[in-house]
Amino acid sequence: MTIQYRNGHSTRRHHRIVVTGGAGFIGSHLCDSLLQRGETVICLDNLFTGSMRNVRPLLNHPNFTFVEHDVREPIEISGEIDRIFNLACPASPRHYQRDPIGTMKTCVLGTLNVLELARAKGARVLQASTSEIYGDPEVHPQPESYVGHVNATGPRACYDEGKRAAETLMFDFHRLYGTEIKVARIFNTYGPRMLENDGRVVSNFIVQALRGEAITIYGSGAQTRSFCFIADLVRGLESLMESPATVTGPCNLGNPHEVTIEAIAREILAHTGSQSGLQFEPLPVDDPKRRKPAIDTALETLGWRPNVSLQDGLRATIAYFALRTATSELKEST
Ligand code: NAD
Ligand code: UDP
């Protein structure tokens, strides 16, 4: 499926842009979109959860370079750099808990290395932060002013607290060195190229439905999330990056359409026509009960709001996984 990225930046100058985590789900779509806009892209990734499959079509593009690199190590790139999108970090609980100390280091040392690069090059940096910095929220929906409710010692903390520390580093570099920063707090995002085995709910449910396997609902299924389609998110990240220098964020980027996990299961069953049943399993520790972004900041400062409906986004995502199933590429079990 080809996603066309629309944007309002037709009269900009050309930029040389680093995308860390560019071989991952969000990063590879961002690389596609930046190249479509005529930018030069250097993708840095250690392939922990990313895949060369996501960027292979770009390898022959004259404006694209792939560098296998771990952001926990200092980053050296010759020549000018105008922009850095820092997306390097596993995003799914299954993967960020697989190596929790490594995840914390990626968040903290990785962001520090990215900020040092930005400082050396005079580049602007956008940090992919997350709704997880709100933890299990006591305020609903979550505005950027909400300081959060994170358990610092639980199994999700390596990611939540790591991302919080990364935000702190961003703002300290801004205050101390005048680094131009943008902090995007990304809410649950879905779409083609999610890893089928990474444990996230939309990919799990779609793959299970297509295989006729039981749909694994953790807890009662009454917990909520708000799902944003990838094309909307990419447009939001680009708008935030190109917003005036005075706009630092944090800025929530997500779709305020809130659904229960059981409802999303039933939606996916309806779209796929699957006969899979629902199987209820224990709720993971510290699993947030509700999550919905307040997007007034994005609307007012960027004029951004998501415009792909859950139905259309699910159709596109199901089509992607159905194609991969048909070509027998989905071999691993979720
Ligand atoms: P992903 O796992 O598909 O992509 C992350 C990429 O970072 C992968 O390509 C991985 O190999 C790479 N990476 C991980 N550790 C690295 C390291 N130490 N050095 C270099 N590369 C490394 O996840 P995604 O969904 O594309 O998420 C991208 C970013 O967006 C992450 O920072 C994540 O925290 C953030 N985010 C995502 C969501 C979402 O719903 N997908 C929500 C909130 C925030
Ligand atoms: N979830 C589920 N079944 C699955 C995978 C996830 O019920 O097979 C639930 C999970 O417990 C959480 C929600 O779906 O309540 C979203 O999970 P995901 O890992 O996609 O995102 P996050 O918890 O990081 O928001």
**Whole-complex ipTM:** 0.98
pLDDT number for residue 4: 54
Prior bond of 282 cis (ω within 30°): no
Positions marked catalytic: 159
Contact 79, 18 (CB under 8 A): no
Q: Residue of the nearest CA to atom 29 in ligand 1?
A: 87
Prior bond of 141 cis (ω within 30°): yes
Whether ligand 2 lies within 6 angstroms of the CB of 225 is answered as yes
Ligand nearest to the CA of 199: 2
Instruction: Centre a 10 Å sphere on the Cβ of residue 216 and count the other Cβ atoms it contains.
Output: 17
Q: How far apart are CA 16 and CA 169, in angstroms?
A: 23
User: Which is the closest atom of ligand 1 to the Cα of 22?
Assistant: 9
Confidence of residue 2 (pLDDT cuts 50, 70, 90): very low
Which of 15, 271, 262, 238 lies closest to 128, judged by CA?
238
Q: How far is the CA of 202 from the centre of ligand 2 (A)?
A: 8
Q: How far is the CA of 22 from the centre of ligand 1 (A)?
A: 8
pLDDT for 90-145, tens place per residue?
A: 999 999 999 999 999 999 999 999 999 999 999 999 999 999 999 999 999 999 99
Q: Residue of the nearest CA to atom 15 in ligand 1?
A: 89
The string of DSSP codes covering 15-39 is: -EEEEETTTSHHHHHHHHHHHHTT-
Ligand nearest to the CA of 69: 1
Q: How far apart are CA 248 and CA 182, in angstroms?
A: 4
Q: How far is the CA of 186 from the centre of ligand 2 (A)?
A: 16
Q: How far is the CA of 290 from the centre of ligand 2 (A)?
A: 11
pLDDT for 31-43, tens place per residue?
A: 999 999 999 999 9
Query: Which residues fall within 8 angstroms of residue 312, CB to CB, at 6 or more apart?
Result: 229
Ligand nearest to the CA of 189: 1
Q: What is the mean pLDDT of residues 243-259?
A: 98
User: Which is the closest atom of ligand 2 to the Cα of 200?
Assistant: 20
pLDDT for 41-80, tens place per residue?
A: 999 999 999 999 999 999 999 999 999 999 999 999 999 9
pLDDT for 252-300, tens place per residue?
A: 999 999 999 999 999 999 999 999 999 999 999 999 999 999 999 999 9
pLDDT number for residue 197: 87
Question: How much of the chain, in percent, has pLDDT values that exceed 70?
Answer: 94
Question: How much of the chain, in percent, has pLDDT values that exceed 90?
Answer: 92
Residues with CB under 6 A from ligand 1: 20-21, 23-27, 45-50, 70-72, 87-91, 106, 110, 128, 130, 186, 188-189
Confidence of residue 1 (pLDDT cuts 50, 70, 90): very low
User: Which is the closest atom of ligand 1 to the Cα of 95?
Assistant: 2
Two tokens at 88? 């390097």
Q: How far is the CA of 91 from the centre of ligand 1 (A)?
A: 5
Whether ligand 2 lies within 6 angstroms of the CB of 201 is answered as yes
Contact 230, 29 (CB under 8 A): yes
pLDDT number for residue 332: 44
pLDDT number for residue 13: 74
Contact 136, 288 (CB under 8 A): yes
Q: How far apart are CA 26 and CA 156, in angstroms?
A: 21
User: Which is the closest atom of ligand 2 to the Cα of 291?
Assistant: 25
Rounded mean pLDDT of the chain? 94
Confidence of residue 12 (pLDDT cuts 50, 70, 90): low
